[in-house]
Every structure is written in structure tokens, then in C-alpha cells.
């Protein structure tokens, strides 16, 4: 069966589909010994020989893992400034895996990593509306009106957010802080922080505890676990 070249490259764990498109346009990909530099080129996934920068890209087993990302680590496979990245925390994994979506430098919690580019793109794409659950420790004690605003949508500089689920789970009047459990399905840059700031409660600490049906559970910071075959199947079923 023939598939678009960038889709096959992403599925084989080379990079995200967008990055693979850039590799093709840069003339760094060859199929059966001939350079391909046009998008839309299709290949036979079973029989064609594909190379990137002279290296043969063969099929690799898919790997799916859940990492408890700590704060202070970049959600990237590399960093030009030499800062610690999430791939540094999974160096014992033989296959090259990449983060699915993004958590800010100062945000901790559940981060999926995989070399299955096609599934990664679907998980990260906002049109599939996968719930992301955060625990946000904020300054001040949010009023019911502030929570109502979060639930109905907040006007940010890049537009109104979709309605969210917002629940006050803990408050400490002595420290003048509270914890909000916030569920969103968008993926805008620093969205939860901006939403809380917009209702007058800047975030002190932020942690993602759930993505879809997957929960962080007792996984400690810097630790990871492989997803079970049942969890992977359930993820795939979300997009069928």
C-alpha cells in the first residue's frame, strides 16, 4: 500500500510530520536511490528503500511511554542552549522517542513520548478534543465568579477559550493560595497560566495529572513507564 513519504517517515520515528516535510523539501530524502524534494510523493511502505542524509530508515517497533516531567526540563528532543531536555530522561530507551505536545519549562506532570508520529499528531491536534487535566496552585482564593468565568470561557489576546471544567480542590487562607483542578482540551501556548492570570489568580505551580483516560498516578518526577498494549489500543480507538 502506498503512503505519502512524510507520513511514512513520521511513522518510522524520524521526526514529526511537519519536520519530515522540511527534510523532503531540503532535498535530504532519497527513495530507491533517487532524491525526492517534492511533497505528495508516495512510497510503498513495504518495499521501497528510504534514506535520510544517507542513512537507511527502516521500520522500527513503536514505543509508547508516559513520563512525569519535572520542572526545569525542556519539552524537546534537543536544545541549542544546552539545557536539559525530556529525551535526556529516557536515554535508556533504544528507540528515538519524541514528546507529544508540550509542557512549559515551569510545568510538571504527565507527558507522553513515542516514535509513532501519526498517533502523536492525532493526540496533539486540538480538533480531537482530548481532555487535559491540570492542578494549578494560584495566588488568592478564587471566587465562584472567577471559577464561572473559567468554565464559560476566558478572553485572551488570541481569542476566547473554549469552556473548561474548573473546580476548587484546596484553599489555604493563611498562605492566600488555592488549588484549581482545570480541564481543557485546547493546546494554546501557556494557556492555563494565561486563563488563571486573566481571572486575577496568577499560577504559582502547575502540574498536568491526566491526558484523556491516562492518569499520572503514583509516577514520581523524572520517572517513566511504558504504556500497556491495552492503553495503546484504547488511544488508537479515540481516533477511529
Q: Does residue 23 sit in helix, strand or coil?
A: helix
Nearest to 169 by CA among 210, 135, 209, 129: 135
C-alpha cell at 100: 507529544
Catalytic residues: 104
- In whole angstroms, give the CA distance from residue 23 to residue 14: 10
Only one residue has cell 479515540, namely: 238
> Is 75:189 a contact under the CB 8 Å cutoff?
no
> Is 93:227 a contact under the CB 8 Å cutoff?
no
Ranges of beta strands (E only) in 6-157 are: 29-31, 34-36, 42-44, 50-52, 55-56, 64-69, 98-99, 107-114, 132-139, 155-156
Task: Count the neighbouring beta carbons within 10 Å of the beta carbon of residue 139.
Answer: 16
Amino acid at each position: 500500500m502506498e503512503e505519502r513519504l512524510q507520513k511514512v517517515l513520521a511513522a518510522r520515528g524520524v521526526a514529526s510530520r511537519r519536520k519530515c516535510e522540511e527534510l523532503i523539501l531540503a532535498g535530504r530524502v532519497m527513495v530507491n536511490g533517487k532524491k525526492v524534494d517534492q511533497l505528495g510523493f508516495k512510497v510503498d511502505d513495504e518495499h521501497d528503500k528510504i534514506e535520510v542524509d544517507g542513512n537507511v530508515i527502516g521500520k522500527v517497533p513503536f514505543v509508547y511511554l508516559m513520563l512525569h516531567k519535572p520542572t526545569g526540563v525542556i519539552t524537546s528532543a534537543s536544545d541549542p542552549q544546552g539545557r536539559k531536555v525530556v529525551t535526556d530522561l529516557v536515554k535508556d530507551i533504544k528507540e528515538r522517542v519524541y514528546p507529544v505536545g508540550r509542557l512549559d519549562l515551569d510545568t510538571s506532570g504527565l507527558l507522553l513520548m513515542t516514535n509513532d508520529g501519526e498517533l502523536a499528531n492525532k493526540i496533539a491536534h486540538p480538533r480531537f478534543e482530548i481532555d487535559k487535566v491540570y492542578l494549578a496552585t494560584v495566588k488568592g482564593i478564587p471566587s465562584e465568579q472567577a471559577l464561572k468565568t473559567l468554565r464559560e470561557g476566558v478572553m485572551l489576546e488570541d481569542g476566547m477559550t473554549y469552556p473548561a471544567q474548573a473546580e476548587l480542590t484546596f484553599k489555604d487562607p493563611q498562605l492566600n493560595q488555592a488549588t484549581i483542578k482545570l480541564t481543557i482540551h485546547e493546546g494554546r501556548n501557556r494557556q492555563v497560566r494565561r486563563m488563571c492570570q486573566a481571572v486575577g489568580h496568577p499560577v504559582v505551580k502547575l502540574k498536568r495529572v491526566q491526558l484523556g483516560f491516562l492518569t499520572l498516578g503514583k509516577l514520581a518526577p523524572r520517572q517513566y513507564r511504558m504504556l500497556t498494549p491495552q492503553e495503546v489500543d484504547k488511544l488508537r480507538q479515540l481516533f477511529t
